[in-house]
Chains A and B, each alone.
Chain A
Amino acid sequence: MSKINTLFQDKKQNILSVYFTAGFPNLNDTTTIINELEKSGVDLIEIGMPFSDPLADGPTIQRSSEIALENGMTIKLLFEQLKIVNSTIPLVLMGYLNPILQYGVEKFCKDASALRISGVIIPDLPFQEYLDEYKTIFEKYNLKNIFLITPQTSEARIRLIDEYTDGFIYMVSSASTTGAKNEIGSEQEQYFKRIKEMNLKNPTVIGFGIHNQQTFSKACEFANGAIIGSAFIKAIETGEDLEKDIGVFVNTILKEQLAHRNS
């Protein structure tokens, strides 16, 4: 069984997923970041494969991608680095389609699977294109493809995505690129509630704009968990003391849960 399915079976609430851009702040930080995130109590890690033209990303992830590429990050190098990672939590690769196409889709799936990667998130791979062209390849290597839904996604389309997903559904919190910093407003809550009431067969995780303990807790009231990306990138950008920065950041997000657990 996939680590993703096991995770959501064992833990129904407050799942914390963290995104980082591989190759940032330094080229060889990948393993340290993964190990520290796992140690700090993160449930799922999204490893960003940097791309020169990240259309769905705001300034923070654009900049981390640019630096990662300047540092020399490639999918090939990332896969080398991942060989020594021995993580018990699910790892998901997130990146844009073009670098994967150039690497070769089947080779990408095969190599990722050999590295015990559990799934992929490819924002510019449309759902229908996935079904028509790529589904069989991804399934052959047991890679879960995670799809996004947004406040504008129709109910019929959400049902369709739910039907063809076996992992989790990534709920984009509002109409925005990554890194929005607003608090969660009533319009968003309405949308979260609407999705919750659809009783999808897949668990849901909310991302985009989740940046502190408050937004994380709020998102977790409506979904099984939440994803933090840009805020984490900012927390580690100096690269001076990664272990400490990561520990402090994750603790801040999870402090409410930790307090509950201890009381």
Chain B
Amino acid sequence: MNYQVNEKGYYGNFGGAFIPEMLFPNVEELREKYLSIIQEKDFQLELNELLRDYVGRPSPLYYAKRLSERYNTNIYLKREDLNHTGAHKINNTLGQILLAKRLGRTRIIAETGAGQHGVATATVCALMGLKCIVYMGEVDIKRQAPNVARMKLLGAEVIPATSGSKTLKDATNEAIRDWINNPVDTYYIIGSVVGPHPYPDMVARFQSVISEEIKKQLLEKTGNENPDYVIACVGGGSNAAGAFYHFLENEKVKLIAVEAAGKGIDSGHSAATSVLGKPGIIHGSKTLLMQTSDGQIIEPYSISAGLDYPGVGPIHAHLFETGRAEFVSATDEEALKAVFLLCELEGIIPALESAHALAYLEKLKAKENEVVVINLSGRGDKDLATYIEKL
């Protein structure tokens, strides 16, 4: 089975580039050039140096002893929360900003949900001296205030998305509309493995450093580069794509994608796309999508702004359809419990998004000798207000 994107930009039945003609020249230019640019020696050198000295990579693979004791197995946390800016998002924004510079673009736009991608974009724009505009849903601006302040401090302009559900989906719509209005000088840094081809593949490649490191680190620690399980949360799915990437071809490694069930899958307040979605088109790609029978996109719900998205990246739709990854979900409640447990047992405050992956440990039933890697995609500083309410 092949899990990589094909020439036409598809993962099996999913993907493609369903964009209005106004975006065609930009997306086509990217499609023609992205592989050759990111494979250039210069580009690789610059990116790797920044990943090491600026982001702090490799991020540690930490053996969580007390958590392992609790679940009677061997749990390793891939500490993406220790990256500069506090999440995996910067792996991708650094890659894309170097690409944008090589394409001669001077104005950078981005969408953001939880604000992590917005902060990571504002950060690399400051680093490169480029103008940065971030679209963020009005609802998310309220629930992720610290990240809004960070972006502003870093020099970005944060524009509220006031249409639709006023969350990530609508912020993405607004960013796409901005690109339509500014096709010449602007580059759009998409934050997840979503959007028209080549974005899903490009973002997956930039995030694949996560699984590349996991392999090396596990080999050093256990003598075997392959774990039994890799678990990651999925909204659009960039941290999961990065954590799964180098294990895709080895079917012995079980891949588990944890979606946000919100208040429960059948509650009408959920973001569990693999269960509630059908094939459709969102933000330029064919994928699984929460929609009405008339094809209108349904507004999802999750306590976590980063998982509050009605679709998944086309790579995940393909992994779901082929059964290569198992798709499960965790509710708001279960995620919050996992936050408090990790604080208590390991002294680590995880992001709400990453806590969905941790929550699945309750149901996993891994054996005593098995190895479980959880991608701890981000830290919980941005969610403190939510956590304090629950104390």
Contacts and interface: CB of A to CB of B under 8 A. Distances in A.
B21 A147 contact: yes
B24 interface: yes
Contacts of A127: 21
A51 B296 contact: yes
9 contacts: A56-B22, A97-B281, A98-B289, A98-B297, A101-B280, A102-B293, A103-B294, A103-B295, A124-B281
Nearest to A55: B176
Interface string A93-118: 00011111111000000000000000
A96 B20 CA distance: 10
Contacts of A150: 21-22, 183
Interface in B200-236: none
A52 interface: yes
Interface of A: 51-53, 55-56, 58, 62, 66, 69, 74-76, 96-103, 123-127, 129, 147-150, 152-154, 157, 172, 175-177
A53 B181 contact: no
A56 B20 contact: yes
A20 to B, nearest CB: 19
Contacts of B182: 175
B164 interface: yes
A175 B22 contact: yes
Nearest to A175: B183
B104 to A, nearest CB: 15
Interface string B289-317: 10101111100000000000000000000
Interface string B236-280: 000000000000000000000000000000000000000000111
A98 B277 CA distance: 13
A55 B283 CA distance: 8
A75 B292 CA distance: 13
Contacts of A153: 21, 24-25
Contacts of B17: 126
B322 interface: no
Contacts of B180: 55-56, 175-177
B36 to A, nearest CB: 20
B169 interface: yes
B173 A55 contact: yes
B169 A53 contact: yes
A172 B183 CA distance: 13
Contact of A52 (B19, B164, B181): B164
Contacts of B20: 55-56, 123-124, 148
Contacts of B153: none
State the 9 A-B residue pairs at the shortest beta-carbon distance, nearest first.
A102-B295, A99-B295, A148-B21, A52-B296, A123-B20, A56-B20, A98-B295, A152-B25, A74-B294
A129 B22 contact: no
A154 B183 CA distance: 14
A169 B155 CA distance: 42
A98 B24 contact: no
B184 A123 contact: no
Interface of B: 16-22, 24-25, 163-164, 169, 173, 176-177, 180-184, 278-284, 289, 291, 293-297
A98 B311 CA distance: 13
B281 A129 contact: no
B163 A149 contact: no
A76 B292 CA distance: 13
A12 to B, nearest CB: 25
B297 A129 contact: no
B282 A98 contact: yes
B357 to A, nearest CB: 28
A246 B341 CA distance: 64
A125 B294 contact: no
A75 B294 contact: yes
A62 B281 contact: no
Contacts of B294: 74-76, 99, 102-103
A125 B284 CA distance: 9
Nearest to B280: A98
Given A96-B281, A98-B295, 12 more contacts: A56-B22, A97-B281, A98-B297, A101-B295, A124-B19, A124-B281, A126-B17, A126-B18, A150-B183, A153-B25, A175-B22, A176-B180
A24 to B, nearest CB: 15
Given A55-B173, A177-B177, A148 B281 contact: no
B179 to A, nearest CB: 9
A53 B297 contact: yes
A152 B29 CA distance: 12
Nearest to B163: A62
Nearest to A154: B25
Given A99-B296, A177-B180, A129 B16 contact: yes
Contacts of B18: 97, 124-126, 129
Nearest to B181: A176
Contacts of A175: 22, 180-184
Nearest to A54: B173
A103 B284 CA distance: 19
Nearest to B182: A175
A260 B63 CA distance: 84
A102 B280 contact: yes
Contacts of A96: 281
Nearest to A180: B181
